[in-house]
A and B are shown apart, each in its own frame.
Chain A
Amino acid sequence: MTTTEEAPTAEAAHDGEIGRDRRRKEDHRLLTGRTRWTDNIAPPGTLHLAMVRSPYAHARITGIDTRDAQASPNVVAVLTGADLADTQGVLANAWPITTDQVAPEHKPVAVDRVAFAGEIVAVVVARSAAAAVDAAELVDVDYEELPAALDLKDAAAATPENGGALAHPDLGTNNSARWIFDSAEAGTGGDVEDAIAAARSGGILIEREYRQQRLIPAFMEPRSVVVDPTGEQITLWSATQIPHITRFLLAATTGVPESKIRVIAPDVGGGFGGKLQTTPEEWAAFAVARRLGKPVKYTETRSESLLAAHHGRDQWQKLTLAATTDGTVTGLKVELLADLGAYVALVGGGVPVLGAFMFNAIYKFPAYRFDCRTVLTNKTWTDAYRGAGRPEATFAVERLMDELAAELGRDPLEVRRQNWITHDEFPFTTVAGLTYDSGDYESATAQAVEAFGYEDLRAEQARRREERDPVQLGIGISTFTEMCGLAPSRVLGSLNYGAGGWEHAEIRMLPTGKVEVTTGASAHGQGHETAFSQIVADRLGVPYEDVEVLHGDTQVAPRGLDTYGSRSLTVGGEALALAADKVVAKAKPWAAHLLEAAPEDIEFAHGKFTVAGTGEGKTVQEIALAAFAAHDYPEGIEPSIDAEATFDPVNFSFPHGTHLCAVEVDTETGAVSLRKYVCVDDVGTVINPLIVAGQVHGGLVQGIAQALWEEAVYDDAGTLLTGTLADYLVPSAADLISFDAAHRSTPATTNSLGAKGVGEAGTIASTPAVVNAVVDALRPYGVHDVRMPCTPARVWHAIQEGSAA
């Protein structure tokens, strides 16, 4: 199936729910302002919190004078880390990637030392948010500054002996963990050192060092938390992606029984991994509410969000690609430094490991080695940001393939074709040990090349080069794949991850014929209410309008592992499909009984059970009513056709695609402008093409923004310089162009829907496509790399340096 996205198709024209451009059920409340963001919630008597944060990257707290703040109007309490020490719990690291990982204890409110600028040192509680903020200004904290570990490479090299700054002096090192995958050791391939030695004597060796700059997820809704400790349970509302994980960890780290905690993620305004976190702010609010016995609320300012919500990326990548002179790749070696920031975040340590299996990408490398060190510094902690490990890997390999092509003087598409897995080679076990179940890189690329007008643009590029046009044209390619649909629980266990990767769903057949569905996936913009309704309507044969999807509340949907890693559809959607199949199976004996036929003569199609060869039938909704009344049903079965299912995937899913980007680079100013962007993504079966296209568009822009605009910058003292949206450059509509985003479908073979996941694809693919285009434009100027973000200044300097060389 091939679909090119343009104007949405009319809904009525489609037969069946899967693949239909349903307009979203979520929209009406969002369009009319009848939304339930966490910051809108205020139980009676709610007290407001303001956080006092450290201005220093690394300092000992020598005294906190709260008297003036305490005496301030409408202030109820001012609590320090020492005040909360016994009840605040700790923030857990759920993914210690090695058994000997070094990790500092992370208290929500610092007790005697702060390890990054922005760390909370005291909490002011007042009757209004304004009074709390006013009083926070009056808290007098004495700090004794300590040397701060800021630069990633310096931090990695620091030891007590060489006097380098340590982020946590008591740990004696900044190196948290070292994680290695070697194909020779794993038995999945050859020895990369042999491949490199061979390339050194008579082959081609590409050695590069790339910087994955630090990014900020910058979801639009600032984080907010409300805790109501009144009543039997403590209820915590939070702008989070992970209500279920939050509930579990609150219980595990504070001693409050899990059954006494209810976590609700109401409408959540974006996450992109940035709300895949258990936060100091949540834990502090929980502790304060319990202590005071009153509801409390904390909503961060944007400045606090940029400063203290976790950041993403931040790696140095040292790469060695070996190839033969005919362009066949023979080995890839990756040496990585990953900046954790001041603490090992929820899954932060594991982010580079998620990339470890993806550097080889779609190419048949016979030998591969990945060697990663995670490093503590005195900066904001890092963790998942859209793609999490996979954009970094994809960037590296896609940049290297372009460098290899340049070295060979060949078209980069041709070099990729020579080395990629062909469609008849699936399932394919890679040098990193994964089995890719399906894909068709040739077809996706052919379609993208056609839509892009690749040959025409190459001809224009040649013309402009010849004419020495000051505005040069560059063409960038990214033929990416990713592993998503996190994740098979056994695989996660083997990687030392602290939880499973299953997902849960329940279908309740209400007597009125309505279908109430719960999912453990927790949406924050993805359109679960719509897409999941389509799946259930399709499987049960009930009207789409009759399905109601409930999520994001541990009391409503008690079992779940939430939303991240493009898992909602492939894992959560599949759980729902399995639950629907169970409903049908449970309803069948009811149908046989009511229709006075043998169960084996009953057929089910389009929502109706019929007796083979007759017109007689009962709909599943009619049976729901019969089961509710329960007046007349067979012996030995329960009076319910409700069902639940838990799905644990057997493999990751592997979306792929070909992204082509054309940029114009003004060689006199260094300014880069987007000219054309075409992508063809294969995300398996598409439930709702409108939603899929939207996910791709948004993903593209986040990846493009990494290439061109965004970077979290610290000064030499460890102060975040990009602390507002005026400084951290989230792009606007005026910075961007319209996209030609199409999709193809090679169904996944590892779930019954055939779905592969789409949430992260655009972001993973687009960054190297853009940077490859920028570098491609400047090759005649001797440029082989431009560090991200490719700002006019960096591009201009690259041209000057390249031309001088």
Chain B
Amino acid sequence: MTRIELTVDGAKVSDDVEPRLLLVQYLRERLGKTGTVIGCDTASCGACTVHLDGHSVKSCNVLAVQADGAEVTTVEGLATDGALHPVQEAFHEYHALQCGFCTPGMIMQAADLLAENPAPTEEQIRQGLEGNLCRCTGYHNIVRAVQHAAGTPGTTAAPAADGGAA
């Protein structure tokens, strides 16, 4: 067991974990952060995407011990004071989700993409979301939503009050 201390969605947490424990398992099983989901076992689908120190990572591809000392933001920490993040708002407005299973990862990836490139082209959006699979939407409305969010104030701001980008 290894002791880790980190900040998740603005809250400081500390636990003893097995070195083999994945960050996504730590989030789901130890912290009850079940908003982040597991869609595959080869880091192909991106459903588990979270922000680690302000940048998107596939949390199935990060060990919990690697997050020691880091700030993690999940989809559960993206809204600020009850107000949805512009990417969340845009996904709702443009019907960019159906079953919603890929949505947490897709939103976290889209938010990261817009933080790096506030005015992406459609091509850049499609390339930027390449690591996140959706089986329901055909991506059409996801791309629309991200285009819309790109023009919305606050999109590139820190995702959460205490757990935002460094």
Q: Which A residues are closer than 8 A to B by beta carbons?
A: 7-8, 23-24, 26-35, 37, 39-40, 130, 218-222, 267-270, 272, 301-303, 524-527, 690-691, 693-695, 697-702, 724-726, 730, 732-734, 736, 738-739, 741, 762
Q: Which B residues are closer than 8 A to A by beta carbons?
A: 18, 20, 28, 33-42, 44-45, 47, 74-76, 78-79, 84, 88, 91-95, 97-104, 107, 122, 125-127, 129-144
Closest approach, in angstroms, between the C-beta of B7 and any C-beta of chain A? Answer: 17
Asked, given contacts A31-B103, A220-B101, whether A270 binds B136 with beta carbons under 8 Å apart, the answer is yes
Give complex CA distance A733, B46 in Å. 12
Task: Considering the complex, give the chain A residue whose CB is closest to the CB of B103.
Answer: A30
A697 to B35, Cβ gap below 8 A? Answer: no
Asked, given contacts A220-B102, A734-B130, whether A33 binds B135 with beta carbons under 8 Å apart, the answer is no
Give complex CA distance A218, B44 in Å. 13
Among B42, B84, B101, contact of A270 (Cβ-Cβ < 8 Å): B101
Which residues from B are CB-within-8-Å of A220? Answer: 39, 45, 47, 99, 101-102, 133-136
Give complex CA distance A269, B47 in Å. 11
Task: Considering the complex, give the chain B residue whose CB is closest to the CB of A702.
Answer: B135
Which residues from B are CB-within-8-Å of A29? Answer: 100
Among A28, A31, A33, A219, contact of B33 (Cβ-Cβ < 8 Å): A33
24 contacts between A and B (CB under 8 A): A8-B95, A31-B75, A31-B91, A32-B76, A32-B78, A33-B35, A33-B104, A130-B20, A220-B99, A222-B40, A268-B99, A269-B37, A270-B98, A270-B101, A270-B135, A524-B99, A690-B95, A697-B137, A725-B45, A730-B133, A732-B139, A733-B132, A738-B140, A739-B138
Which residues from A are CB-within-8-Å of B33? Answer: 33
A701 to B88, Cβ gap below 8 A? Answer: no
Closest approach, in angstroms, between the C-beta of B129 and any C-beta of chain A? Answer: 4
A738 to B35, Cβ gap below 8 A? Answer: no
Give complex CA distance A8, B96 in Å. 12
A27 to B92, Cβ gap below 8 A? Answer: yes
Number of inter-chain CB pairs below 8 Å: 179
Task: Considering the complex, give the chain A residue whose CB is closest to the CB of B79.
Answer: A32
Which residues from B are CB-within-8-Å of A30? Answer: 97, 100, 103
- For the complex, would chain B's binding face be called helix, strand, loop or mixed by DSSP majority? loop
Give complex CA distance A525, B101 in Å. 9
Which residues from A are CB-within-8-Å of B44? Answer: 302, 724-726
B139 to A736, Cβ gap below 8 A? Answer: yes
Closest approach, in angstroms, between the C-beta of A110 and any C-beta of chain B? Answer: 24
Which residues from B are CB-within-8-Å of A268? Answer: 99
Asked, given contacts A40-B34, A732-B129, whether A35 binds B100 with beta carbons under 8 Å apart, the answer is yes
B141 to A694, Cβ gap below 8 A? Answer: yes
Asked, given contacts A219-B135, A739-B138, whether A526 binds B92 with beta carbons under 8 Å apart, the answer is no
Closest approach, in angstroms, between the C-beta of B147 and any C-beta of chain A? Answer: 10
Which residues from B are CB-within-8-Å of A733? Answer: 125-126, 129-130, 132, 134, 139, 142-143
B133 to A35, Cβ gap below 8 A? Answer: no
Give complex CA distance A691, B139 in Å. 14
Closest approach, in angstroms, between the C-beta of B131 and any C-beta of chain A? Answer: 7
Which residues from B are CB-within-8-Å of A734? Answer: 126-127, 129-130
Asked, given contacts A35-B100, A302-B39, whether A730 binds B74 with beta carbons under 8 Å apart, the answer is no
Closest approach, in angstroms, between the C-beta of A46 and any C-beta of chain B? Answer: 11
Closest approach, in angstroms, between the C-beta of B23 and any C-beta of chain A? Answer: 15
Task: Considering the complex, give the chain B residue whose CB is closest to the CB of A269.
Answer: B101
Which residues from A are CB-within-8-Å of B99? Answer: 219-221, 267-270, 524-525
Among A23, A28, A221, A690, contact of B37 (Cβ-Cβ < 8 Å): A221
Asked, given contacts A32-B79, A694-B98, A724-B44, whether A37 binds B126 with beta carbons under 8 Å apart, the answer is no
Give complex CA distance A523, B100 in Å. 12
Give complex CA distance A366, B33 in Å. 61
Asked, given contacts A33-B75, A33-B76, whether A697 binds B97 with beta carbons under 8 Å apart, the answer is no
